[in-house]
A and B are shown apart, each in its own frame.
Chain A
């Protein structure tokens, strides 16, 4: 158990819909990262927040957005969903600096 929690564990929705994935970092960690992992794309970095502020942006689509709240939990919002958005979405957290990332168990999103 990494100490990072993600909800929901599974999510099935239809194309065109909007969903919100939630992540609670390890106690004390200020940094939160979001990744997408699909079968044909590997692990893709989406975005990083540090203490509520966006710190780095990767291959995040304009239909996707994220935020980190004052209590440090984070949400990833995916809208206008397409079949290709079906993937495992991982959240990770770290204390910042050179500290390693701790990954959550992931949310499996299926878009039908």
Chain B
């Protein structure tokens, strides 16, 4: 089971790019990296998923180096509404018995 480490909190200002890094040194060969966003008292919401190199969608980019021991979620030009907790999840959703460990997450505060 891949253990993940993320910064507990980060501050940013509106309009800036925010990069949140997740360390997962013992990631397994078939594991994927998935990021979720959670607002207070709401369920987490999927942001992006990747296996290697770079993945981009309409809200974020995910950078994964060749050794896959870390990953970086990049949020371009954040706004106040991006204030939330961001979770890095590492595992193989196809695996029987997969334990979905969300960890403590990174609390991002976007300031005006």
A-B contact pairs, 10 of them (CB 8 A): A2-B43, A56-B98, A58-B100, A90-B43, A96-B94, A97-B94, A100-B46, A103-B42, A105-B42, A105-B43
Binds A, one of B17-25, B59-67, B68-76, B101-109: B101-109
Q: CB-nearest residue of chain B relative to A50?
A: B96
On chain B, the residues within 8 Å of A58 by CB distance are 99-101
Interface size class of B (residues with CB under 8 A): 20 to 34
Contact B93 A45 (CB under 8 A): no
In angstroms, how far is the closest chain A Cβ from the Cβ of B92? 9
Cα-based distance from A105 to B44 in the complex (angstroms): 9
CB-CB contacts below 8 Å: B37-70 with A: 38, 41-46, 49
Contact A42 B104 (CB under 8 A): yes
On chain B, the residues within 8 Å of A2 by CB distance are 43, 45
